[in-house]
Amino acid sequence: MERANGQPGRLDGLGTSAARKARLTIRPSPGPHNALWYFPQLTGGYGRVARNAAIIQLARYTPSLPVKNALYRLIGMRVAPHASVGLMVMFDIFFPEDVTLGEDCVIGYNTTVLCHEFTRQEWRRGPVIIGPGATVGANCTVLPGVRIGAGATVSAMSLVNRDVPPGAFVGGVPIRPLRQAGPASTPPG
């Protein structure tokens, strides 16, 4: 498929699932069972995962944004000083260090941000980058390897299964453009 500007890609302006998957590390299950059975050896052990889970749970209920962001940084997330994470947001407990939150981004209530996928035959891991000034609405799911561009908006209850370009307004399951992308907004400061 070719866009009007001669560049390969989707006609709707969104990234492809293939681009997201290209960012993933994909490995076969290390044993005869589904890959989730082997999470301790794939993720750094029970202690590390339990620590991440406890800190993420504490942060989910913390009303203070500076405290919440400090908790996320404790587990390796890259969080800009003025990133805003809503109540009950669930970040990946296995690989939180693969999450980057840009300056003045907003992550809405009860959204899930995943950096891993376990399947019957394999497991996958990839970074999630939410750019400066981006907004992710409530109750969304963001899959591993996704990049949400600066100033982009993802409407509530969306499945973000591919990249969102800067300034785009997307939504749905899976996401689709809801309005043409305009110039990316520049966060203040």
pLDDT over threshold 80, residue 109: yes
The pTM score is 0.87
Q: What is the pLDDT of residues 11-49, one digit of tens each?
A: 567 888 888 889 999 999 999 999 999 999 999 999 999
Residue with the bigger pLDDT between 21 and 163: it is 163
Q: Model confidence at 184, in pLDDT bands (50, 70, 90)?
A: low
Percentage, residues of the chain above pLDDT 70:
88
Who's near 4: CB < 8 A, 6+ residues apart? none
∠ CA 18-161-129, rounded to 5°? 90
Tell me how far apart the alpha carbons of residues 70 and 44 are, in angstroms, rounded to a whole number: 22
User: What domains sit in the chain, N to C, each tagged with a CATH number?
Assistant: 17-177 (2.160.10.10)
Tell me how far apart the alpha carbons of residues 172 and 189 are, in angstroms, rounded to a whole number: 32
Q: What is the pLDDT of residues 45-101, one digit of tens each?
A: 999 999 999 999 999 999 999 999 999 999 999 999 999 999 999 999 999 999 999
pLDDT over threshold 50, residue 116: yes
